[in-house]
Every structure is written in C-alpha cells, then in structure tokens.
Amino acid sequence: MTTRIDCPSAQPGSRTSRVFGVMTGPVSRRRVGYLTSTVEATPDLLAKSGDAKPTQVFRIAAPCAKSACRHFNGTCSLAQRVVDFLPPVVSALPPCQIRSTCRWYLEQGAEACLRCPQVTTDKADATEEEIRIADAGDNQPGPGPSGA
Ligand code: SF4
C-alpha cells in the first residue's frame, strides 16, 4: 500500500487535487484562510478565481510528484527554503485539514506550518526575495509554486 503524501502548494490538474485554503486579506498582508474541510478542485470551483489564476487564489493539495517536481531532491527543497528564509507569521499550528499527508509538515514539522499562511502558490507581485525563495537552486522543469 502506498501512503499518499501531498504537496501543499500544488498546481491544479490532478484528479485528486483538493482545495484546502483560500487567500484572504489585503494584497500587502495576504494570508491563507484554511477551510474546515477540503473541497475537490473541480473546474467549476477553480473558475471562481475569475480573472486570477486559481493558484493565485486557492491553496491546492495534490499528490507530491517527487522526482518529477523541480523542487524535489529526495526531500522538498521548497519546504526547506520556506523554513529557512520566511519568518513565522502565526504562533500556533493553523487549523489545516491536510496535515496528516502534507509533505512540508512531514519533513519540516511545525516550523513549516507557522510560515505556511503567508505562502501564495502563484504570486503575480512576488518580490525578488520571494522569487529567490521559490526558485533557488531549482533549474529543472516541473510543477511547483512560482511564489512563496
Ligand atoms: S505546512 Fe502545515 S499548515 Fe501548511 S499545508 Fe502543510 S500541514 Fe497545512
């Protein structure tokens, strides 16, 4: 039996993609609003992002692509950079519904969760620092967040 491990900042497309959060708040201080239950990332739901990309509005979990992902080098290098370079933005674990399968949590523990609410998967106005955190050291094509 294969244990499912989810990417918590996935692109839509997988048949088992689940929305677990929605970005909320002003542009300067966007945070993930964690849903009380996950919702299948159907085309109809994703279309509710309007003119924005779904990944600019929703946080989506989907099975980790492992070596098919540019961030994976045996572990998730993006999760490592999130912990290394982003500050904590909450003082307690967010009420997240995917924790039991989240790769970031499985590898980085609570330190990932304390930083996770500030992560937008696809951030149109990402700073140079955020782009560096999202992409540093990753030079292979593959799915993954373009914002951090
Ligand atoms: S890092 Fe923590 S808060 Fe973020 S998706 Fe994973 S389990 Fe949820």
Q: How confident is the model at residue 45 (pLDDT cuts 50, 70, 90)?
A: very high
**Which of 113, 118, 121 has the most ligand 1 atoms within 8 A of CB, as the residue to mutate?**
113
Q: How confident is the model at residue 76 (pLDDT cuts 50, 70, 90)?
A: very high
- What pLDDT score does 28 carry? 82
133: left (phi over 0), alpha (psi -120 to 50) or beta: alpha
**Which of 4, 7, 19, 98 has the most ligand 1 atoms within 8 A of CB, as the residue to mutate?**
98
State pLDDT tens for residues 88-137: 999 999 999 999 999 999 999 999 999 999 999 998 888 888 888 888 65
* Rounded CA separation 100/104 (Å): 10
DSSP for 46-106, written as a single string = HGGGTTS-HHHHEEEEEE--GGGSTTBSSSBHHHHHHHHHSPP--SS----TTGGGBHHHH
User: Maximum CA pair distance of the chain?
Assistant: 44
pLDDT above 70 for 144: no
Determine the atom of ligand 1 nearest the C-alpha atom of 8: 5
